[in-house]
């Protein structure tokens, strides 16, 4: 048993010390950011400092940043804004997070899933065909395409998609919740008109995120009430959360990225022991590894690793705890293997040896399970 390896940063990252310190300091700021007195102005200054940091991450002016309760609300707000702008058909990639899919399906507007190729990348040919076939309902085109997938780490060609969507006069929304802090997520780098971010995936606190929108993109006023967030989202802001978010973003931007070496070595070790590395043929985030092995259900792997001190996820982060085959992996054509996949994801606090320990622990678990099933062969 090892001292404990946490490879579940895609579910949530540990709080960075910088974020903790910023939040502790923010507890002593009493004012409401909307109040005009000195305490209110101090709170406003703190909020705007955090907003400016998030804006740098997104390569946008501060005014483009709307704080939300997290990535989920940011994605939902983008979809509702597209519908309010007249979109009568929502295109979403087949591997979007549940919050995107559910919001689109609940919108009352025709929703079409754009398939992905077996390696997990959106099928740009299929996207083009959908863009070329005008919707009977009319209205501007909207596409939701995530920057990197939360289960496989596969990076999506958002720029290429953006060119096609823009040529059709449309709006590309990018869920950058997993990519932020791992790869550049500036609006123009991604080609995005709007961007969803979440603090807790990059070492900030849970319960705060942002929707960042280019000037040409109008965000609808979804929550009625006061005029906070440029009138786009009512309700007194989560000042402590924003302070932690801003500090986490700043720390993430300042930290060197370790590269894929340790992850790749772990991938090679488990592949040699029989694992399928999902999305291996595609560009992926450096510290995400999705593996599958026949006849070893995801939950057995997750529980077995946990008993040995290695914490990972099965399927999507937000559906951890529920046992159902991954929709993303099914969309990639993995069939039965989709129920036998796990995700290991590192982040700012991960040490190279965590990957080695995780791989060794997985190989040990797999060998023990197989020898139990086939005692004679062991």
Select from 147, 153, 208, 202 the least CA-distant residue to 172.
Answer: 147
Q: Are the C-beta atoms of residues 211 and 78 closer than 8 Å to each other?
A: yes
Tell me, residue by residue from 62 to 91, as one string, x for binding to ligand PLP by CB under 6 A and - for no binding. --------xxx--x----------------
Residue (81 or 135) nearer to ligand PLP, CB: 81
Catalytic residue among 10, 99, 290, 318: 318
Q: Is 146 in the site for ligand PLP (CB under 6 A)?
A: yes
Q: Is 121 in the site for ligand PLP (CB under 6 A)?
A: no
Find the part of the chain contacting ligand PLP (CB under 6 A) among 110-118, 170-178, 340-348, 362-370: 170-178
Catalytic residue check, 318: yes
**CB of 353: closest distance to ligand PLP in angstroms?**
26
Residue (75 or 361) nearer to ligand PLP, CB: 75
Residue (111 or 150) nearer to ligand PLP, CB: 150
| H helix runs in the chain, sequence order | 17-26, 38-58, 71-84, 98-106, 124-132, 158-167, 187-190, 239-254, 261-272, 298-307, 327-331, 352-373
Q: Is 239 in the site for ligand PLP (CB under 6 A)?
A: no
Percentages of the chain per state (helix, strand, coil), in multiples of 5: 45, 15, 40
Q: Is 317 in the site for ligand PLP (CB under 6 A)?
A: yes
Select from 341, 365, 358, 148 the least CA-distant residue to 265.
Answer: 358
**CB of 210: closest distance to ligand PLP in angstroms?**
10
Residue nearest to ligand PLP (CB): 71
| Sheet hosting strand 288-292, strand order edge to edge | 276-277, 288-292, 341-345
Q: Are the C-beta atoms of residues 23 and 240 closer than 8 Å to each other?
A: yes
**CB of 318: closest distance to ligand PLP in angstroms?**
5
Q: Is 158 in the site for ligand PLP (CB under 6 A)?
A: no
Question: How large is the greatest C-alpha to C-alpha distance in the chain, in angstroms?
Answer: 78
**What is the rounded CA–CA span in Å between residue 164 and residue 369?**
48
Give contact residues for ligand PLP (rule: CB under 6 A): 70-72, 75, 97, 99, 146, 150, 175, 177-178, 198, 209, 317-318
Catalytic residues: 318
């Amino acid at each position: 048993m090892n001292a404990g390896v946490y490879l579940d940063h895609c579910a949530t990252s540990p709080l960075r010390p910088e974020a903790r310190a910023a939040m502790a300091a923010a507890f002593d700021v009493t004012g409401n950011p909307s109040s005009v007195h000195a305490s209110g102005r101090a709170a406003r200054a703190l909020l705007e400092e955090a907003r400016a940091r998030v804006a740098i991450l997104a390569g946008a002016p501060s005014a483009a940043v709307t704080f939300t309760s997290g990535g989920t609300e940011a994605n939902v707000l983008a979809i509702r804004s597209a519908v309010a702008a007249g979109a009568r058909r929502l295109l979403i990639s087949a591997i979007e997070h549940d919050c995107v899919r559910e919001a689109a399906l609940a919108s009352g507007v025709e929703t079409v899933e754009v398939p992905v190729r077996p390696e997990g990348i959106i099928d740009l040919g299929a996207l083009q065909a959908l863009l070329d076939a005008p919707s009977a309902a009319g209205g501007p085109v909207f596409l939701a395409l995530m920057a990197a997938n939360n289960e496989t780490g596969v990076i999506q060609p958002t720029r290429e998609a953006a060119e096609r969507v823009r040529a059709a006069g449309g709006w590309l929304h990018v869920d950058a919740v997993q990519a932020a802090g791992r790869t550049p997520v500036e609006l123009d780098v991604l080609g995005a008109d709007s961007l969803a971010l979440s603090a807790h995936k990059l070492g900030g606190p849970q319960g705060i995120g942002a929707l960042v929108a280019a000037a040409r993109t109008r965000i609808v006023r979804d929550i009625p009430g006061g005029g906070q967030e440029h009138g786009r989202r009512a309700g007194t802001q989560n000042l402590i959360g924003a302070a932690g978010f801003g500090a986490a973003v700043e720390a993430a931007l300042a930290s060197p990225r370790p590269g894929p070496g340790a992850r790749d070595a772990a991938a090679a070790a488990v592949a040699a022991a029989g694992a399928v590395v999902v999305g291996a043929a595609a560009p992926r985030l450096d510290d995400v590894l999705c593996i599958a092995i026949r006849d070893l259900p995801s939950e057995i792997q997750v529980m077995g690793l946990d008993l040995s001190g290695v914490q990972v996820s099965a399927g999507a982060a937000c559906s951890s705890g529920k046992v159902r085959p991954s929709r993303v992996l099914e969309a990639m054509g993995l069939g039965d293997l989709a129920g036998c996949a796990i995700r290991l994801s590192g982040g700012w606090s991960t040490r190279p040896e965590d990957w080695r320990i995780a791989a060794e622990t997985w190989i040990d678990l797999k060998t023990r399970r197989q020898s139990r099933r086939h005692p004679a062969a062991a």
